[in-house]
């Protein structure tokens, strides 16, 4: 509690110890008061469902009980020594039993724990009055004669202590108020409620911190040893300027063949008593909600609590290594060590992080190097009821989290890092580190938070978006770890006033406590619906914000741009991504190739992307290659084998010249062209000699119809004589609609004139800064292009610079949060949500609906009310014929939750194509598309507007 209460307890303990009155038999009134006091402890423990309220009650009862020690009562003197360092309240389904010198808490039934909170408070006041009166009266005068009546004694005691009782109650209330930060309550009930809530928050933080910092308990004595189990000693020092906390739990538990395994309770090392001073208001609460039987020989002694155990004190004499866990970031938090569901030892203390300094570390013993940790953990699990924290610790030891060095992931698979090696924990905004430090400084950094990543408006004037970038996000968090070099740079970048312990915190964090729920990559998505839901410690998740938004923003934007180009071009046309040279840097080029492939493009010119992602590659030659030749004489090796290898053409260039003359003097093509450019013909011949099976020529270097097309046809016919088939031509300038139609006529004339089957269907590829509008115009004009090579407008997303993804806090510590704005489109949708897509009879998706996490999911064939999140008049009933849940777990950290595998790129592409085909045509059209409906359930709608009104300030008119 506080210093005042500490002095109060110390005074009464010392007065008891210094008394030299003769021993008297205990009076019946004293026994009654003790029984009431025991009953009061149990009532106090049951008045709150949380262990935090139990700590508060137990601490207060420890104060009262210390003050009860009477000089003439030997039993009470022994109990005073027993509870000098705290009182242990033992709660069990079958009663409470404690042996030893202080065994007065025996056979108390828990059926008395059903009192209401109001009844408990009233009872506390009466009991407190009686107990304190008894103490003051006993210390002020001699013991009254036994012939005095109980009634007269009670009346006298009551009259003498009324003023003192009120004074001490006020002192305790003041001490309680000082203990709670920023407390402004004055009445007792409000202060107790505030204290309970405060202790709940502290307990939640410590539960997360204890395992993260390596604070765990490992058994030293195993069941197979068949020897008494030693109960350990642990110590925590808070520095010279603070009184150390002490707890000594020693005892033996005989182990034989008849001993049940669940009775085994083994801890790391043996304890010895210490004589150091203790804090009186420290309490140990042993909460046995599940059966945990102990033999009658089990003896527990509460004594000084030493945390630094020497090697001489170790069980069996093994040399144990110590595992240090820095707890400098604990601010006014209790240290709580959980041992399954059976025992909780809570040490409340009030210490600032800056005051801990060199002595503020926790040292716990773990098994020696000669013992297998795996075997130990298996034995523990068979003999102890493990908490989730200890089960997670076991998992971390059996399978390491995926890391930069290629360790195994929680699912036994290795996840490589992000494609771009520049995607590191430093790829974030500075304000993420400043916020992380502020969270850490305030003790909020481990609070559980939920963030939604979503966008507010579909890009390019459309009504749909393709979600992409998830795989890179998962690879990033799977390898999230600060290096020493990175931490040093962060230290240099932040103000010098930042404490060194913060950098120790950064050094130890990873994403094992983070969970990521996401829409499947390649899905069609819509505004306001979360693309990702990220859960984890708030400071860590904030550090993920910028890289996540960066990895999702461009990926989804360029994938959507590619899908829109595919929709305009049509399914039958081949789309080639030629944007590497115009992309915003190497990462833009690599990302564009990958996400354009997801969006529906067939191939890329980017060789690196082909290697990394297995995307098909396509390419021809440039104008430079054509203009580099001067004449056919430059070609040295003119021979070419036939496609089947049965013969060889010694002079392929002469064969090409022969075919050019035939074309020039043919009946159907006579007069359409004159002399062609011979350097262009030489370039085409040279390229065909290099790639006879994949000959595709760029025909617009000089003149498409007068030179390029005739020269190409001459080379293609020469290749046909040798059993090869040319690939086609590429047009990179001019009127693409007109030139493609004229080229197609020329090809059909060749097929008809010379009888070459399929020549008329020769492929025509067009490029020349194409975009969505150009493709739409070509479709309206009519063209004969088979493939489009698109670059600049595709990869740079020329029509829209960014998607505008946002990353908003929607819940913290299970409390929903909302972001308000005068612009309704920027108001966030609070709380952790589940998202569903409802399909109609025709197979088209009708609406996406968001519900609260605990709401029952919609069912097929049942009518559900779908409401616009902010517009009261927009609502509709939907009877879904098929329901798809959108958010799935793709990263579960160290938890047991099953997670989805990352699919290969081809599967993501197929999902995208399939979902686009399922969309209603009016949602997909370029001009004036129908908006897709995004809604919330009726309950979520009501909650959004309730929270909105609750958080928005009320204006005042003067």
The CATH number given to whatever domain includes residue 908 is: 3.20.140.10
Looking at the structure, do residues 660 and 751 belong to the same domain, yes or no? yes
Please report the pLDDT score of residue 639 as a whole number: 96
Band (pLDDT 50/70/90 cuts) for residue 195 is: confident
- Least confidently predicted of 32-36, 462-466, 593-597, 629-633: 32-36
Burial 206-222 (b: 16+ CB within 10 A, else e): bbbbbbbbebbbbbbbb
Domain presence at residue 308: no
Nearest 5°: CA angle at 388, between 385 and 389?
105
The edge-to-edge listing of strands for the beta sheet with 815-816 is: 815-816, 805-812, 448-455, 532-537, 515-518, 888-891
Mean pLDDT of 753-768: 95
Please report the pLDDT score of residue 65 as a whole number: 41
Q: Point out the domain boundary residue: 727, 756, 785.
A: 785
193 pairs with which residues across the strands?
none
CA distance 259 to 852: 48
Looking at the structure, do residues 449 and 569 belong to the same domain, yes or no? yes
Specify whether the CB–CB gap between 536 and 449 falls below 8 A: yes
- 956 DSSP assignment: -
Please report the pLDDT score of residue 705 as a whole number: 94
Task: Give me the percent of the chain exceeding a pLDDT of 70.
Answer: 61
Mean pLDDT of 490-500: 96
Domain presence at residue 605: no
* pLDDT: which is higher, 582 or 336: 582
Instruction: Report the SS3 class of residue 131.
Output: helix
836 pairs with which residues across the strands?
849, 885
Band (pLDDT 50/70/90 cuts) for residue 814 is: very high
The number of distinct structural domains making up the chain is 2
365, pLDDT greater than 70? no
Long-range contacts of 144-149 (CB under 8 A, 24+ apart): 146/27
Alpha helices in 240-372 (DSSP H): none
* pLDDT: which is higher, 407 or 450: 450
378, pLDDT greater than 50? no
Band (pLDDT 50/70/90 cuts) for residue 196 is: confident
pLDDT in tens, 599-654: 999 999 999 999 999 999 999 899 999 999 999 999 999 999 999 999 999 999 99
Please report the pLDDT score of residue 190 as a whole number: 75
Domain presence at residue 230: no
Domain presence at residue 732: yes
Domain presence at residue 347: no
Band (pLDDT 50/70/90 cuts) for residue 207 is: low
Looking at the structure, do residues 544 and 465 belong to the same domain, yes or no? yes
33, pLDDT greater than 80? no
Measure Cα distances from 723 to 46, 89, 820, 876 in Å: 92, 95, 71, 65
Looking at the structure, do residues 443 and 582 belong to the same domain, yes or no? yes
Mean pLDDT of 748-754: 94
Q: Point out the domain boundary residue: 785, 812, 832.
A: 785
Based on its alpha-carbon atoms, the radius of gyration of the chain, rounded to whole angstroms, reads 40
- Least confidently predicted of 126-140, 730-744, 885-899: 126-140
Mean pLDDT of 807-811: 97
732, pLDDT greater than 80? yes
- Least confidently predicted of 231-240, 504-513, 648-657, 852-861: 231-240
Domain presence at residue 735: yes
Looking at the structure, do residues 811 and 921 belong to the same domain, yes or no? yes
Looking at the structure, do residues 635 and 772 belong to the same domain, yes or no? yes
34, pLDDT greater than 70? no
Please report the pLDDT score of residue 182 as a whole number: 63
Specify whether the CB–CB gap between 786 and 747 falls below 8 A: no
Relative orientation angle of helices 430-442 and 538-569, to the nearest 10 degrees: 150
Expressed as residue numbers, the domain containing 715 is 620-785
Band (pLDDT 50/70/90 cuts) for residue 7 is: very low
CA 884 to chain centre: 23
Instruction: Report the SS3 class of residue 754.
Output: helix
Q: 3-state secondary structure string, 153-217?
A: HHHHHHHHHHHHHHHHHHHHHHHHHHHCCCCCCCCHHHHHHHHHHHHHHHHHHHHHHHHHCCCCC
189, pLDDT greater than 80? no
Looking at the structure, do residues 731 and 827 belong to the same domain, yes or no? no
Question: For all residues of the chain together, what is the average pLDDT?
Answer: 74
Band (pLDDT 50/70/90 cuts) for residue 175 is: confident
Looking at the structure, do residues 767 and 723 belong to the same domain, yes or no? yes
pLDDT in tens, 530-546: 999 999 999 999 999 99
Domain presence at residue 324: no
Looking at the structure, do residues 533 and 627 belong to the same domain, yes or no? no
Beta strands in 582-732 (DSSP E): 603-604, 640-641, 648-649, 696-698, 728-731
CATH number, residue 744 = 3.20.20
Domain presence at residue 274: no
Q: Point out the domain boundary residue: 757, 785, 813.
A: 785
Instruction: Report the SS3 class of residue 832.
Output: coil
CA distance 389 to 559: 41
Contacts of 278 (CB under 8 A, 6+ apart): 84, 85, 86, 243, 245, 246, 304, 305
Task: Give me the percent of the chain exceeding a pLDDT of 90.
Answer: 54
782, pLDDT greater than 70? yes
Band (pLDDT 50/70/90 cuts) for residue 32 is: low
Q: Which residue has the tokens 């523990």?
A: 380
CA 388 to chain centre: 18
Please report the pLDDT score of residue 491 as a whole number: 97
Please report the pLDDT score of residue 849 as a whole number: 98
211, pLDDT greater than 60? no
Looking at the structure, do residues 925 and 817 belong to the same domain, yes or no? yes
Please report the pLDDT score of residue 942 as a whole number: 96
Mean pLDDT of 793-812: 96
pLDDT in tens, 295-348: 333 333 334 434 334 334 433 334 333 333 333 443 434 333 333 333 333 333
- Least confidently predicted of 256-265, 635-644, 697-706: 256-265
Band (pLDDT 50/70/90 cuts) for residue 166 is: confident
Looking at the structure, do residues 500 and 563 belong to the same domain, yes or no? yes
Looking at the structure, do residues 435 and 578 belong to the same domain, yes or no? yes
């Amino acid at each position: 509690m506080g210093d005042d209460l500490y002095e109060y307890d110390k005074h009464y303990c010392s007065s008891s110890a210094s008394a030299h009155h003769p021993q008297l038999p205990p009076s019946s009134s004293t026994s009654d008061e003790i029984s009431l006091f025991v009953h009061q402890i149990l009532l106090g423990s049951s008045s709150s469902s949380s262990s935090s309220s139990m700590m508060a009650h137990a601490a207060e009862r420890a104060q009262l009980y210390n003050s009860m020690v009477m000089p003439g009562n030997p039993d009470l003197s022994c109990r005073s020594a027993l509870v000098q360092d705290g009182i242990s309240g033992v709660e069990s389904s079958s009663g409470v039993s404690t042996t030893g010198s202080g065994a007065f808490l025996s056979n108390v039934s828990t059926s008395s724990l059903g009192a209401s909170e109001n009844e408990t408070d009233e009872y506390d006041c009466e009991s407190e009055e009686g107990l304190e009166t008894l103490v003051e009266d006993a210390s002020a005068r001699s013991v009254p004669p036994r012939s005095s009546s109980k009634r007269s004694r009670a009346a006298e005691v009551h009259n003498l202590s009324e003023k003192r009782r009120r004074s001490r109650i006020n002192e305790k209330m003041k001490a309680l108020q000082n203990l709670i930060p920023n407390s402004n309550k004055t009445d007792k009930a409000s202060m107790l409620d505030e204290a309970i809530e405060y202790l709940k928050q502290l307990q939640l933080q410590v539960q997360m911190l204890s395992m993260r910092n390596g604070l765990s308990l490992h058994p030293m004595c195993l069941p197979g040893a068949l020897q008494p189990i030693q109960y350990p000693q642990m110590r925590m020092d808070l520095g010279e300027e603070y009184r150390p906390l002490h707890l000594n739990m020693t005892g033996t538990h005989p182990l034989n063949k008849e001993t049940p395994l669940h009775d085994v309770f083994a801890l790391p090392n043996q304890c010895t008593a210490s004589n150091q001073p203790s804090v009186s208001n420290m309490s140990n609460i042993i909460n046995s909600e599940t059966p945990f039987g102990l033999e009658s020989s089990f003896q527990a002694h509460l004594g000084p609590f030493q945390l630094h155990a020497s090697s001489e004190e170790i069980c069996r004499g093994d040399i144990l290594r110590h595992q240090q866990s820095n707890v400098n970031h604990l601010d006014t938090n209790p240290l709580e060590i959980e041992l399954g569901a059976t025992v909780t030892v809570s040490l409340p203390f009030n210490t600032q992080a800056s005051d801990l300094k060199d002595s503020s570390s926790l040292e716990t013993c773990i098994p020696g190097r000669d013992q297998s940790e795996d075997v130990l953990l298996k034995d523990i699990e068979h003999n102890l009821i493990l908490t989730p924290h200890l089960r997670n610790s076991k998992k971390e030891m059996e399978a390491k989290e995926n890391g930069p060095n290629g360790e195994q992931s929680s699912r036994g698979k290795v996840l490589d890092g992000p494609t771009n090696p520049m995607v590191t924990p430093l790829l974030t905004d500075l304000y993420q580190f400043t916020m992380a430090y502020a969270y850490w400084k305030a003790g909020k950094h481990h609070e559980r938070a939920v963030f939604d990543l979503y966008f507010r408006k579909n890009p390019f004037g459309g009504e749909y978006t393709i979600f992409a970038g998830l795989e890179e996000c998962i690879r990033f968090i799977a390898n999230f770890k600060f290096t020493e070099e990175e931490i040093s740079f962060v230290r240099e970048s932040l103000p010098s006033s930042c404490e060194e312990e913060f950098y120790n915190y950064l050094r130890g964090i990873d994403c094992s406590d983070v969970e990521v729920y996401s829409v499947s990559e390649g899905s069609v998505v819509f505004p306001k619906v979360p693309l990702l839901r990220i859960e984890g410690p708030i400071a860590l998740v904030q550090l993920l914000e910028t890289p996540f938004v960066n990895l999702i923003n461009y990926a989804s934007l360029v994938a959507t741009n590619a899908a829109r180009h595919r929709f305009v071009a049509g399914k039958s046309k081949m789309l080639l991504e030629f944007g590497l040279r115009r992309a915003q840097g190497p990462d833009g080029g690599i990302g564009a190739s990958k996400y354009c492939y997801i969006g529906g493009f067939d191939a890329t010119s980017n060789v690196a992307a082909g290697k990394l992602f297995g995307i098909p590659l396509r390419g021809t030659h440039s104008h430079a290659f054509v203009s580099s030749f001067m004449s056919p004489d430059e070609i040295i090796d003119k021979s070419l084998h036939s496609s089947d290898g049965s013969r060889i053409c010694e002079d392929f260039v002469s064969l090409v010249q022969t075919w050019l003359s035939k074309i020039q003097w043919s009946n159907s093509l006579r007069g359409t062209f004159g002399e062609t450019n011979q350097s262009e013909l030489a370039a085409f011949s040279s390229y065909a000699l290099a790639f006879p099976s994949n000959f595709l020529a760029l025909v617009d270097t000089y003149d498409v119809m007068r030179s390029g097309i005739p020269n190409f046809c001459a080379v293609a016919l020469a290749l046909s004589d040798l059993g090869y088939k040319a690939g086609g031509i590429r047009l990179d300038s001019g009127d693409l609609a007109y030139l493609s139609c004229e080229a197609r006529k020329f090809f059909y004339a060749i097929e008809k004139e010379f009888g070459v089957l399929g020549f008329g269907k020769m492929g025509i590829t067009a490029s020349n800064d194409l975009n969505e509008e150009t493709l739409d115009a070509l479709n309206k004009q009519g063209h004969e292009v088979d493939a489009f090579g698109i670059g600049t407008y595709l990869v740079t997303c020329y029509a829209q610079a960014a998607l505008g993804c946002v990353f908003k806090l929607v819940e913290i510590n299970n409390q929903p949060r909302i972001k308000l704005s005068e612009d309704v489109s920027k108001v966030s949708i609070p709380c952790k949500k589940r998202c569903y897509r409802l399909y109609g009879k025709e197979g088209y998706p009708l609406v996406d609906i968001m519900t609260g996490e605990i709401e029952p999911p919609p069912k097929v064939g049942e009518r559900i009310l779908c409401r616009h999140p902010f517009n009261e008049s927009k609502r509709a009933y939907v009877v879904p014929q098929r329901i798809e849940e959108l958010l799935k777990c793709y990263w579960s950290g160290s938890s047991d939750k099953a997670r989805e595998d990352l699919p290969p790129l081809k599967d993501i592409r197929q999902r995208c194509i399939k979902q686009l085909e399922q969309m209603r045509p009016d949602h997909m059209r370029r001009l004036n598309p129908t908006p897709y409906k995004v809604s919330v359930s009726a309950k979520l709608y009501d909650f959004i507007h309730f929270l909105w009104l609750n958080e928005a300030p009320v204006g005042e008119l003067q």
